């Protein structure tokens, strides 16, 4: 399967800002290491999500993308299906924030970054203060580990990519 990408008009916020979500799915083309340190063959489903709202894009904070109305022109008969797609994108974002890649393995407890650490210093702080994996010694951030999509995420992707085009 080649990469597929869809941009969904998610609707409007309470302030009237338009919110869109760009969702991309594709299969990995080479073996990868999972968050549980398993070697996975090529062909794993990946997802990447980016939001765009009038006031920000990319890692748009949840409070800036609360959808209160569907896009203009959605017919009443399509409303339930469109809301399902909006909720599916929100679930994917919550569980797979941006993509399937993780800096920590499944066995690591990532500490809370103190409030006095600047955004620019956050990554370095995490690299220095996250304990190594108790099973393998893996150090936080030394590789991008793959988090396989669960059944709900795969169902959400199917729902999103089967939406009627407007």
- pTM for this prediction: 0.78
Alpha helices by DSSP H, 52-150: 76-96, 122-129
Q: Given a cut of 70, is residue 5 above it in pLDDT? A: yes
> Tens digits of per-residue pLDDT, 141-164?
999 999 999 999 999 999 999 865
Q: Is the pLDDT score of 37 beyond 70?
A: yes
Tens of pLDDT, residue by residue over 98-111, are 789 999 999 999 99
pLDDT at residue 20, as a whole number:
87
DSSP 141-166: TSS-EE----HHHHHHHHHHHTSPP-
Determine the longest span between alpha carbons in the chain, in angstroms.
55
Q: Which candidate, 14, 10, 12, 154, places its Cα nearest to that of 90? A: 10
Q: Residue 55's pLDDT is what?
A: 62
The one-character DSSP state at 76 is H
The number of beta carbons lying within 10 Å of the beta carbon of residue 15 is: 11
Q: What is the percent of the chain where pLDDT is above 70? A: 85
Residue 1 has pLDDT above 70, yes or no: no
Predicted confidence at residue 109, as pLDDT, reads: 95
pLDDT tens per residue across span 38-93: 999 999 999 999 888 766 555 556 666 677 777 777 766 677 777 888 889 888 88
Measure the CA–CA gap between 147 and 105, rounded to whole angstroms.
Answer: 9
In this prediction, residue 33 carries a pLDDT of 97
CA distance 163 to 148: 24
Question: How many residues comprise the chain?
Answer: 166
Least confident range from 55-59, 124-128, 134-138, 145-149: namely 55-59
Give the pLDDT band of residue 165 (cuts 50, 70, 90). very low
């Amino acid at each position: 399967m080649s990469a597929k990408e869809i941009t969904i008009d998610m609707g409007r916020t309470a302030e009237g800002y338009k919110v869109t979500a760009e969702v991309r799915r594709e299969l990995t083309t080479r073996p990868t290491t999972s968050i549980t340190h398993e070697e996975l063959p090529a062909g794993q489903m990946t997802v990447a999500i980016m939001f765009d709202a009038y006031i920000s894009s990319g890692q748009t904070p949840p409070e800036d993308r609360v959808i209160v109305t569907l896009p203009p022109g959605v017919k009443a008969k399509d409303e339930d299906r469109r809301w399902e797609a909006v909720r599916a994108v929100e679930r994917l974002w919550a569980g797979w924030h941006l993509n399937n890649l993780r800096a920590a393995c499944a066995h690591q407890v990532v500490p809370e970054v103190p409030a006095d650490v600047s955004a620019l210093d956050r990554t370095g702080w995490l690299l220095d203060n996250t304990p190594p994996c108790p099973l393998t010694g893996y150090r936080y951030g030394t590789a991008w580990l793959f988090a396989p999509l669960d059944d709900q995420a795969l169902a959400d992707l199917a729902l999103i990519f089967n939406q009627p085009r407007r």
